[in-house]
């Protein structure tokens, strides 16, 4: 406890002490690397625990920078068995630090979720109090309104008392209006807090999923390291040659797969390298982390390899056909998005019937007491949609465009900013640069310009989905590892490619 007392003394005194100066006094190996904070946090306040978590986060950031430097230095040297083992040891340590950081963040999110839940309870209590006050005033106003003008005049002993009654009634009405306004604000705050709570819980689940990938990568690195210990230098060099030959063949196959036509008739999907360079250029320019931006594009369209399997052919209903030629009466929203889509097609000079968009997800829904219930749907040969349950109707629309998968109405929200960023008078959702710029611009608007806001921005990008945000976070982690280390784990390669 003496160790932590020193830490808390510094924090209470309001002194922010750089890690380099306090490392001699504080045993970060015990507190952070061996996760001593878990036990300590059981016996101290949440505020003190949060301070420890923040200190450990900074500590791990510094340690990871040192490791990255070591990896770069070792990689630049001659590729020998010893250097390879050293590199793997560094990678394992880096992954361990990432897992430690995830644990810290998860614990912080638990505190935040607890605070949000308590705030929700308090707000609900305030709302109930407001309801009671409003009810009392409404009863008083109703009682007064039941009296006729003549009755009020007769009951009033003097003209002054009559006017006092009128003023009282007006005061009640004004107070009631004030309470109603406050009531509406409390309801709005309650909804926002519930959304925040869902995001915090989803963020925690997302980090746990990412941890699983980090642990898997660490286990693979440890296994590879253990196998190297049994080799001689000659055997290692021989294996290295074999590995290089296999990787060359695999790269050739991957290049062909990545270069498959996946956009429109006059454009091919970018290679991963091309997409990464574009994400760096656009992301850094707009102010969004490149790995996060490319994680979104990867999740939306497999980096341009799949920008949709439907084609709109009906300019009145927004219906059309699937890529296999089968008809479907429901693709794009007929009033909100179809007119905008036709304008975009015209401006970009594209052919509507040959321009792919996302398909409608085949589902039907019904609502009851404010909640939606879903069921499956089927499409007949003539394009008619049949819901699997009686009383259900087709739900949702497709019509998302290009690598970033914008629906037309959302595209219009960022179109002018994309024009300003690219210097073009006409921008095109299917153009790589335009789509990446639009995605980065929109993510920045949603709060994705900071790492801490990426999860929420990803969720809102898809209309509020924690599972979507979780998948984006995992993809972004894989891409960031590639940016930092120049390679991906097998699990990441399967996910991205």
**How confident is the model over 200-229, as pLDDT tens digits?**
777 777 777 777 778 888 887 788 788 777
Average the pLDDT over 65-69 and give the result: 71
Average the pLDDT over 149-157 and give the result: 53
Q: Beta strand pairing status for 310-312 and 363-368?
A: unpaired
Work out the mean pLDDT of the chain and round it to a whole number. 79
- Beta-bridged to residue 401, according to DSSP, are 357, 406
Mean pLDDT is lowest, of 40-54, 412-426, 458-472, for: 40-54
Q: State the Cα–Cα distance between residues 212 and 215, nearest whole angstrom.
A: 5
Q: State the Cα–Cα distance between residues 489 and 214, nearest whole angstrom.
A: 10
Q: State the Cα–Cα distance between residues 47 and 39, nearest whole angstrom.
A: 15
Q: State the Cα–Cα distance between residues 304 and 298, nearest whole angstrom.
A: 8
Sheet hosting strand 393-394, strand order edge to edge = 385-387, 371-379, 363-368, 393-394
Question: What is the model's pTM?
Answer: 0.61
Q: Tell me, what's the pLDDT at 256?
A: 40
Q: State the Cα–Cα distance between residues 23 and 10, nearest whole angstrom.
A: 13
The DSSP string of 105-172 is HHHHHHHHHHHHHHHHHHHHHHHHHHHHHHHHHHHHHHHHHTS-HHHHHHH-SSHHHHHHHHHHHHHH
Q: Tell me, what's the pLDDT at 6?
A: 38
Contact 462, 468 (CB under 8 A): yes
Q: Tell me, what's the pLDDT at 14?
A: 37
The CATH topology of domain 262-305+402-497 is Lysozyme (1.10.530)
Instruction: Pick the closest to residue 31 from 6, 9, 65 (CA basis).
Output: 6
Rounded to the nearest 10 degrees, how much is the dihedral formed by the CA atoms of 240, 241, 247, 252?
Answer: 160
pLDDT over threshold 80, residue 169? no
Average the pLDDT over 19-29 and give the result: 50
- Cα distances (Å, whole numbers) of residue 468 to 155, 336, 459, 493: 68, 24, 6, 19
Q: Report the percent of the chain where pLDDT is more than 90.
A: 35
């Amino acid at each position: 406890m003496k160790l932590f007392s020193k830490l808390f003394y510094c924090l209470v005194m309001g002194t922010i002490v750089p890690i380099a100066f306090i490392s001699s006094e504080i045993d970060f190996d015990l507190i952070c690397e061996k996760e001593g904070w878990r036990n300590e946090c059981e016996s101290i306040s949440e505020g003190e625990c949060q301070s420890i978590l923040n200190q450990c986060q900074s500590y791990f950031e510094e340690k990871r920078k040192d490791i990255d430097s070591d990896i770069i230095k070792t990689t630049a040297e001659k590729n020998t068995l010893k250097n390879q083992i050293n590199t793997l040891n560094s990678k394992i340590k880096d992954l361990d630090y990432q897992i430690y950081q995830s644990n810290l963040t998860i614990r912080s999110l638990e505190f935040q979720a607890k605070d949000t839940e308590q705030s929700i309870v308090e707000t609900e209590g305030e709302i109930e109090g407001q309801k009671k006050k409003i009810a009392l005033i409404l009863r008083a106003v109703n009682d007064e309104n039941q009296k006729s003008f003549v009755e009020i005049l007769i009951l009033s002993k003097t003209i002054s008392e009559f006017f006092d009654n009128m003023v009282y009634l007006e005061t009640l009405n004004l107070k009631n209006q004030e309470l109603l306004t406050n009531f509406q604000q409390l309801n709005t705050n309650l909804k926002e807090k519930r959304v925040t709570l869902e995001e915090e819980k989803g963020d925690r689940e997302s980090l746990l999923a990412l941890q699983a990938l980090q642990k898997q990568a660490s286990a693979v690195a440890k296994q590879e390291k253990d196998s190297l210990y049994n080799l001689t230098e000659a055997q290692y060099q021989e294996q290295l040659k074999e590995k290089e030959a296999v990787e060359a063949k695999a790269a050739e196959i991957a290049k062909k797969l990545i270069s498959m036509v996946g956009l429109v008739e006059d454009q091919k999907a970018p290679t991963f390298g091309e997409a990464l360079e574009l994400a760096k250029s656009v992301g850094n320019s707009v102010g969004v982390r490149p790995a996060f931006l490319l994680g979104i594009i990867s999740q939306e369209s497999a980096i341009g390899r799949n920008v949709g399997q439907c084609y709109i052919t009906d300019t009145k209903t927004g219906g059309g056909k699937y890529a296999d030629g089968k008809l479907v009466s429901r693709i794009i929203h007929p009033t909100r998005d179809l007119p905008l889509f036709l304008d975009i097609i015209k401006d970009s000079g594209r052919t509507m019937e040959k321009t792919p968009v996302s398909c409608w997800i085949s589902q039907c829904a019904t609502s009851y007491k404010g909640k939606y219930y879903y069921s499956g749907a089927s499409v007949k040969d003539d394009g008619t949609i049949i819901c699997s349950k009686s009383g259900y109707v087709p739900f949702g629309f497709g019509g998302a465009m290009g690598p970033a998968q914008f629906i037309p109405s959302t595209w219009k929200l960022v179109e002018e900013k994309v024009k300003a960023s690219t210097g073009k008078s006409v921008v095109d959702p299917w153009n790589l640069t335009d789509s990446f710029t639009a995605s980065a611009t929109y993510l920045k608007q949603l709060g994705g310009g900071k790492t801490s806001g990426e999860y929420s921005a990803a969720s809102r990008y898809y209309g509020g989905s924690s599972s979507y945000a979780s998948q984006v976070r995992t993809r972004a982690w894989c891409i960031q590892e590639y940016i930092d280390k120049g390679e991906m784990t097998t699990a990441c390669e399967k996910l991205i490619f």
